[in-house]
């Protein structure tokens, strides 16, 4: 009974093995043709790397599922998918596993580690019709081994193709400046689009990083010219702002200097005026004291009026003598040679002024009979 089942399982696996062998043979032939064409092109021709699909098939060939040896040890961070008689049976967790010979077969081995896949360089057109050359790195992880085994034929190849198409679609919705400035937003949008599509495959895209962006050479030159123009503009603006601030500072300094100078001039004038006023006050007080003493001397001394008259006549003669020393044009009285007449005239003026003062004093202070004629004695004196 077991031999018949084993024969049926072997017969069922023959077409699958034959198809895989034919597919590998075709890939080998295509790779040989590419290498021959490269060698025919000369030694200087660039080397051509194998196709991504061929690399994926070779990787699957190197990591083919292990054979059923009844007792198996599943490594950490791996999940083995077991089929019994061609149907899904269970998923083996890390550790010891016992399989039924012939009936159980390990069909798939899924790594639960985070995998980094290099996205090859591809061209994409932005919203403003600029062709870019981009490449990146995709980080994904298998979260459901069952879906990763039966939901898609080649999970890594499918995710890579999905990342390329999604990146083209996202770049087509953005301008060149936005693409260069907002890489994080672009990466986030690509991750969300991949996760929405790969949910049924049991794969979660953790992150996507754009590695290099290569705009056309003319666009790069235009960008460099724009940057130079922006920097020149910024330099001119800063220079003009510096000149403006310098002029403002100079004007403010001149204004403050003028204000301080005017304040100083004001204080100087105030001090000068206060000094002149004090000098005038002191001079007036001195003159008042002198006049008061002269008056007391005239009233209290016999012959005081004659002495005052003599002093006035002396000052008159001295002033008349200094007239010719101070100016070229002078006005002199007609009797300039009559000194005695001038002195007599000066004394008469003094006598008249004295008489007027006495009359004014007597008019302001009338006689008081009850005081015994004190007012008349004061006037006569």
Cα–Cα distance list, 24 to 56, 161, 332 (Å): 11, 21, 147
Q: Are 93 and 79 in contact (CB under 8 A)?
A: yes
pLDDT by position in tens, the chain (length 381): 334 444 333 334 434 334 444 444 544 444 444 444 333 333 333 334 445 544 554 454 445 788 888 888 989 989 999 999 888 989 998 999 888 888 989 988 888 999 888 888 888 888 888 888 888 899 999 999 998 888 888 888 888 888 888 888 888 888 888 887 788 888 888 898 888 888 888 888 898 888 888 888 888 888 888 888 888 898 999 999 999 999 999 999 999 999 999 999 999 999 999 999 999 999 999 888 887 887 777 776 666 666 776 667 777 777 766 766 665 665 566 565 666 666 677 667 667 767 776 776 677 665 444 444 444 444 343
User: What gap in Å lies between CA 70 and CA 78, rounded to an integer?
Assistant: 18
**Residue 50 pLDDT:** 46
pLDDT in tens, 65-115: 888 888 889 899 899 999 998 889 899 989 998 888 889 899 888 889 998
pLDDT in tens, 273-314: 999 999 999 999 988 888 788 777 777 666 666 677 666 777
Sign of the dihedral through C-alpha 9, 10, 12, 13 = positive
């Amino acid at each position: 009974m077991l031999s018949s089942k084993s024969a049926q399982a072997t017969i069922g696996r023959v077409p699958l093995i034959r198809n895989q062998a034919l597919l590998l043979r075709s890939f080998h032939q295509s790779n040989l043709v590419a290498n021959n064409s490269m060698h025919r092109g000369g030694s200087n021709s660039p080397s051509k790397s194998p196709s991504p699909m061929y690399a994926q098939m070779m990787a699957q060939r190197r990591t083919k599922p292990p054979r059923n040896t009844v007792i198996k040890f599943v490594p950490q961070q791996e999940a083995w998918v077991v089929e019994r008689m061609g149907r899904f049976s269970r998923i083996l967790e890390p550790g010891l596993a016992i399989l039924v010979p012939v009936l159980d077969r390990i069909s798939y081995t899924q790594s639960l580690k985070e995998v980094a896949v290099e996205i090859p360089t591809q061209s994409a057109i932005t919203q403003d019709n600029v062709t870019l050359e981009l490449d990146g790195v995709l980080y994904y992880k298998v979260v459901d081994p069952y879906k990763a085994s039966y939901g898609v034929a080649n999970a890594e190849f499918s995710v890579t193709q999905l990342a390329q198409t999604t990146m083209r679609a996202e770049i087509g919705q953005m301008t060149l400046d936005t693409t260069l400035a907002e890489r994080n937003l672009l990466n986030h949008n690509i991750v969300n689009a991949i996760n929405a599509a790969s949910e049924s495959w049991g794969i979660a895209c953790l992150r996507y990083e754009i590695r290099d962006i290569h705009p056309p050479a003319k666009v790069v030159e235009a960008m460099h010219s724009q940057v130079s123009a922006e920097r020149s503009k910024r330099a001119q603006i800063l220079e003009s702002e510096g000149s403006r601030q310098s002029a403002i500072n100079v004007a403010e300094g001149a204004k403050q200097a003028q204000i301080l100078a005017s304040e100083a001039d004001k204080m100087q004038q105030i001090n000068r005026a206060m000094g002149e006023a004090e000098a005038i006050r002191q001079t007036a007080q001195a003159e008042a004291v002198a006049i008061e003493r002269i008056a007391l001397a005239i009233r209290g001394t016999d012959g005081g009026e004659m002495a005052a008259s003599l002093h006035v006549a002396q000052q008159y003669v001295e002033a008349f003598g200094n007239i010719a020393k101070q100016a070229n044009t002078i006005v002199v009285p007609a009797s300039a040679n009559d000194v005695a007449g001038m002195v007599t005239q000066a004394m008469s003026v003094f006598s008249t002024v004295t008489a007027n003062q006495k009359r004014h004093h007597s008019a302001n202070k009338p006689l008081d009979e009850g005081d015994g004629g004190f007012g008349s004695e004061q006037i006569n004196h």
